[in-house]
Structure formats: C-alpha cells, structure tokens
A and B are shown apart, each in its own frame.
Chain A
Amino acid sequence: MLISKRKQWIVQSITYIVLIGFSFYCLFPFLWMVVTSLKPDNEIRTLTPSFLIQHPTIEHFINVLTGSSFLTFFKNSVYVSLVVTAASLIISIFAGYALSRFVRFRGVKLFGVAMLLSQMIPGVLLLIPLYLTMKELHLINTYNSLILAYTTFTVPLCTFMMKGFFDSIPIDMEESAEIDGCTRVGTIFRILLPVSLPSLVSTSMFGFLNSWNEFMFGFVFINDEQHRTLTPGIYLFKGLYQTDWGSMMASSVLSVLPVVIMFLFLQRFLVEGMTAGAVKG
C-alpha cells in the first residue's frame, strides 16, 4: 500500500512517541535508582522527592565499596553465575539435542514432560528439602550448594530453548555430515553449534541472569560473608530500624551495571536467539 510522505511522517512520529513513552515507563525505576544513589540522605528522606539532585554526592558508592563487603559479594556472584552458566549450557546442549532428535523414543518425551513439570513447582516449597539435602552432603555454606541448586533450576528452560533452536535446523544438514563421516558428537560441535551462536548466547544469558538475580536460596544456604552473593548482600542495607536507601540504591546500580553492559554487547544475539526456533521451516 502506498502512503504519502506526510502520512508516513505522521505514522513514524506516533510510533516514536509511543516507543519513547514505553521506554520511559520501563526505565523510570532504574533512573530513580541512579538518582537516589547520588542524593545525600536529607534529599532522599524528604517530603518532596525530586528527580533533580541539589547536592550530588558519591558518598553512598564510597560507603558501599569501602564500608561493606560488596566486592566480596560481587566476586561470589560472578563466580557462581559463571559456573552455573557453563554447566547449564553444556547439559542443555546435549539434553536439548536429545529432546529434539530422539522424539520417537517414548522415554524422551516423558523426560521432556517431567522437565516441564519441574518448572511448575515454586522454589519456596523446595527450600527445606534442599536445605536438608545440602546439609547431608555437607554443602551448606559453600558455593557448591548454590551452583547445584541454580543449575537444576536453570537446566530445564535452557534445554527447551536449545531444543527449540535445534528443531529449526533441517535434519538434512546432519545427514550430510553423517554421509561425510561425522559422528553424532562431531555433528553437534561442528555443524549445529557454529550456526547456533545466537541461541547459545541467549541461553547463556538466561542462565547467568537466573543465578545473578536469585535471592532466596542465596540467603538460606549461605551463613557467612565470604560466600554470600550479591542479592542477599544488598539486602543487608535494610537496617534494624531504618533502611539505608542511598547505599542500597548505590549497590543496586553497581550490581545492574555488568548486566546492562552484557545486554548492550549481546543484544543482537539475544533477540535472534530468543526468536530462533519460534517459526519452523
């Protein structure tokens, strides 16, 4: 359909106005977080909250970085999240492939359904059983307790993401590789994975974010500062009689930064990966 330039301009303007509105709506909490982290206490606890900062300060950031164990928490979160991401990715590549290519086996379908069902159990129900399990395994207060728990929570969805992508790859490619003498593992690593980079990135990011943002198990399994992760660590700024909002916001900004940077760099892959496998053919 042909439309005049004027109409085109109007449609484009409306589109951008709506998009800017939505962006502001989505970004407002983050902007408020940044603004609060740069305000002195008396401007945070005021009757007339304002976006404008009269006396900007970095005292909250200094307090977070020098007066708390934030850097330890950060390091722990990075470590746990990276290990969980790597473990989830390796497991889900093979599990996703099996679910995609061995559908004719009844057990595989059943396994897929079981994985799906496992996602329907709220985490809080597993809190005490998992605590008991970790205690029996002498893993309470170790990184391993978190790595094991997070990996088990992350693998099912990662598997379905990988399965969706493998489903969209024509079987002919594998058959060609097989004729050329490639083994099944070779096919996965040499044929499927090189063309599934976007899916790998989005799956990895999902795994990473899942463990990066987890709070409940991080708080229950870990009892000392050396092993505490970011989310429970930030919560410590909620004091006995009042909340140190400035430090809480500053630490939140510092926690969000790596995720934001990651998203900026990997956004292209993420969008491709998320839509991969959505349409077959």
Chain B
Amino acid sequence: MRQQPMRYKKMSKLAIVAMAAIVMMTGCSGSASNATTSNEGSTDQAVTLNFWAALDPSTTEGKTIEQQIKKFDQEHTDININLQVITYDVLHDKLVAAITAGDSPDLSWGLGEWVGEFNQMNALADLTPYMNEWKDKDIFYPNVMKALTIDEKVKALPNYLGIRALLYHENILKQAGYDAPPKTWDELLQMGPVIKAKTNKYAFGFAGTGVRASQELMTYLAQKGLSIAEKQADGKYKNTWQDNPQALQKVAEVFQFYKDMNAQQVVDPNAKTWGWEEEDQNFVLAQYAMVVNGAWIEGRTSENPEGMSDVKIAAPPYSDQPATFMEVAPLFVYNTEHTKQAWEFASFLMSKEYQQAVNPSKSARTDVESDKWGKEFMKLTSQGVSFPPVSLSGISQSMEDSIARLMLKNDSPEQIATWLSQAINENLQKTNQLSGS
C-alpha cells in the first residue's frame, strides 16, 4: 500500500474536521428556539400565545404597550405571551406566509385592508360567541364593530382607530388673511392660490403613493356618497359605478378635484410622488398649510415643537356630505388551539385600562377619556367610513394607480373613473369575491 504523504493526511483531516464542524454547527443550532414558540409555558398547564405587534419600542406608546403586556403575563400564570415586534411594512407578507403554511401566530396587529383577505383565507377565528358574552361588547363605536363584522360574525377586534381630520397651521392661514380653515372643496380651491401668493407655501398636501394614497381617496369618494364595493344579494361584492352614470360622474368629480388642486397650485407638485412619511414630515416642518391626517401627528411635537406649535384640528373639507376615512386597525385572533386564552388576552388589549394607557387619543371605546387633541378627532367618529371587508391588496394598488394615471399620465377624470371601476371589479374577480362570479 502506498504511503500517504504527511501533508496530504493533514489536508484530508482538515477537510473532514471542517465538514464535521459544519454538520455539528447546523445540527446543534436553533434546537433551543422551539422553546419560545412551542405552546408549553413555564408551568405544565401554561399556554404560550404568539403575538405579533407592529409597535415602536423606541416610543413612549411602545414602551407602555410592552409594560401592559408584561403585567398581563405576570397576572396570568396559565398564559405566557411571546411578543414579537414586526413592522407593518413586512407584517403582511409574514402573516400571509405563516397563514398559508398553517403556522400563524395566535394574535397579531394588522391593517383594515387585510380583514377581507385573511377572512377569505379562513385564517380568522369567529369571535362572535366570546363577544356576545363580554360585558363590554356595547362600549365600542357601532360603525367600528360593523367594519370588523363579516356575515354577522365578528372576525376581528378594534386595536386602535386612525380617524382622519383636517390639521392646519393656524399661523400660515392667518398670514394669508384667513381666520378659519376651508369647510368645502370649493373653499379650499379658492384659498389655495391666495395662500401660495401671500405666504409662498402650498395650501394642502396629499400622498400620491403608498397605502395613504388609497385611504385619502376613500375619504373623497365617501364625501360624494360613493363606496368602492357594495354587497350584493348573493353575499358577494361589486363596484357599481358603471351601472349608474350619476355615480360615475361623481367619481370623475373626485378626480377632477385632485386635478384642480394640482393645476391651481393648491398642492406641492411633488405630492404626486409623496408617501406617508413625506406628507407627514413636510407638514410637521410647516412646509404647507393643511393636510387630512391622523392623531399620531401629535407625537411629532417633541421633535419639532416650533413647527407643531400652531397646529389646529377641524373636520376635513367636503363636497356633497361630511365624511372622513376611519382607519380601524384590527387585532386579529387566528384559528388556533388556544382561542379561549387568545380571547382572554385580546379582551385585555381592548379593556378600558389598557386602552386608556395606550390609546387615549385613538381608542375605539366610547368610555376612554381622550385628551384635548384626541377629543377633536373622536368628534369625527360618527362620519367615519372604512374599507369594505373584501380582499384589498389589488384594489388599494389600483386606487394608487388611478392617482398616478391622473397626475403623471394625464388621463381624463372620466377615463380614470371608468378604469378604476373596472379595475376594482377585476380584482374582486381574481379573489373570487365578485358578485355573479
């Protein structure tokens, strides 16, 4: 037998050791991880609930939420809460992947746009029996619960509200010679050029891209008495604008309003590409006078005290009828083995104590005492409209695209009204929610 040289032996050994090390490393790693996700808590009967939340741990609100959850965890020896912070930007994709794989968390935060989609995926637990037995069931705003009820079944719970109001910089309006904000679209269009001429600042802001764009468009459509999809006799949904020339005309008027704002220099020309961050930031820095926005803007006061010092709140300017977008951020409880415990935790998250501590300005409970800022927003709850409970991902995108077609492609408002109606119905068909399909 031929003698292997020493160096080659060393090389071979090295390779074997390296391979073994990799196998060991990959074999040993992560074995402990299941401890956190398994439903075996620290005690024999304890259940671990996986809860995915999009809170911001760096803020006071985020810290308060973490404290409250810790408190619940300590008070309930039979329930352990495994809180995972996941930002909204990626939460949807993570949830879709987890639901598809049958590996969803027990509870999660979410957006109103996802209710219909997750319901279609049969991912959501029916909470009706729990809700009916709950002493606090009548304490919520009725239109909020309606937005979370599908086919008479409570499919999600209200986490917090994002009611939109008109926020305005009082000083900019005064500088332009106005004592009060506009009440109607026409007033806004009249004030715009004057504000621009006298202050060199634009009067109004909107988001042309992202999720905020479709939410703002919803407000203006609702002010014309329009809905993007209506429930039909067969229980499915349909956009009916094309069946009614008057409705189609009203949709065109909404897009004409966008066009006029742009043409008459009421809005910054860059707004067509703004997302929510640009819209908020420019308003906070007093770069323009008014915006339809949520109560969260108050949180920017500490960072920009000068820019926020003169901000006041009013109802959004309307056309035919007062209306505003009411973002109902749902709390999802998924079909898991631990629905009872999940409900117990969810009802804590909806309790007065928790809501008062975490969401004083944006709670869906009527008995939570808002601060001065929150009260102004809560006044508008009765005129709040939400998205219909259909799968919205494609529809939101089409709504965003309709604004792009108007602003960038220069399509006519009438063309866009027809196009959007068709696009909404096509999206409903794709998700098997179109009436008659």
Contact surface of A with B, Cβ cutoff 8 Å:
41-42, 45-47, 63, 67-68, 79, 83, 86-87, 90, 127-128, 131-132, 135, 138-145, 147-148, 181-182, 185-186, 189-190, 219-220, 223-227, 232, 235-244, 247
Contact = CB atoms under 8 A, between A and B. Distances in A.
B398 interface: no
B180 to A, nearest CB: 27
Interface in B27-84: 29-31, 33-34, 36-37, 50, 52, 54-59, 61-62, 82, 84
B8 interface: yes
Nearest to B30: A142
Interface residues of B, number: 59
B18 A223 contact: no
Sorted from nearest, which 5 A-B pairs have the closest CB atoms? A142-B30, A239-B56, A143-B29, A189-B11, A240-B56
A220 B97 contact: yes
B100 A90 contact: no
A235 B97 contact: no
A220 to B, nearest CB: 5
Contacts of B62: 239-240
A272 B322 CA distance: 69
Nearest to A136: B101
B436 interface: no
B92 to A, nearest CB: 11
A242 B300 contact: yes
B30 A227 contact: yes
Interface centre among A139, A143, A220, A223 (most CB of B within 10 A): A223
A223 B85 CA distance: 9
A127 B92 CA distance: 13
Interface string B368-391: 000000000000000000000000
Nearest to B11: A189
Interface string B82-119: 10111111100110111011110100000000000000
B15 A239 contact: no
A141 B30 contact: yes
B437 interface: no
Interface string B107-147: 00000000000000000000000000000000000000000
B82 to A, nearest CB: 7
Nearest to A76: B29
Contacts of B102: 135
Given A141-B33, A143-B29, A223 B277 contact: no
A79 B88 CA distance: 28
Nearest to B93: A220
Contacts of B31: 142
A244 B57 CA distance: 11
A239 B58 contact: yes
B106 to A, nearest CB: 12
Interface centre among A182, A225, A236, A237 (most CB of B within 10 A): A236
A87 B26 CA distance: 10
Given A83-B22, A223-B105, A240-B296, 9 more contacts: A45-B281, A46-B285, A67-B58, A83-B26, A128-B97, A141-B36, A239-B56, A239-B87, A242-B281
Contacts of A79: 29
Nearest to B280: A242
B7 A190 contact: yes
A237 B89 CA distance: 12
A67 B15 CA distance: 41
Interface centre among B11, B15, B22 (most CB of A within 10 A): B22
Contacts of B103: 131, 135, 140
A241 B8 contact: no
A226 B105 CA distance: 17
Interface in B321-342: none
A190 B30 contact: no
A142 B15 contact: no
B303 A42 contact: yes
A239 B59 contact: yes
Interface string B274-288: 000100110011010
Given A41-B303, A236-B87, A238-B87, A87 B22 contact: yes
A226 B89 contact: no
A45 B219 CA distance: 29
B29 A142 contact: yes
Contact of B26 (A131, A144, A190): A144
A242 B94 contact: no
B408 interface: no
Contacts of B8: 182, 186, 189-190
B36 A241 contact: no
Given A41-B303, A147-B26, A241-B299, A181 B2 contact: yes
Interface centre among B54, B87, B102, B303 (most CB of A within 10 A): B87
B109 to A, nearest CB: 9
A144 B29 contact: yes
A218 to B, nearest CB: 10
A192 B266 CA distance: 70
A235 B87 contact: yes
Contacts of A67: 58
A131 B56 contact: no
Nearest to A42: B303
Contacts of A41: 303
B235 to A, nearest CB: 29
B58 to A, nearest CB: 6
A238 B89 contact: yes
Contacts of A141: 30, 33-34, 36-37
A224 B12 contact: no
A254 to B, nearest CB: 17
A220 B277 contact: no
A181 B4 CA distance: 9
B263 interface: no
Contact of B33 (A226, A239, A247): A226
B19 interface: yes
Contacts of B304: 42, 45
Contact of A139 (B12, B30, B100, B285): B30
A213 to B, nearest CB: 16
A139 B96 CA distance: 18
B25 interface: yes
Nearest to A182: B8
B30 A132 contact: no
Contacts of B90: 219, 232, 235
Nearest to B285: A47
A155 B61 CA distance: 45
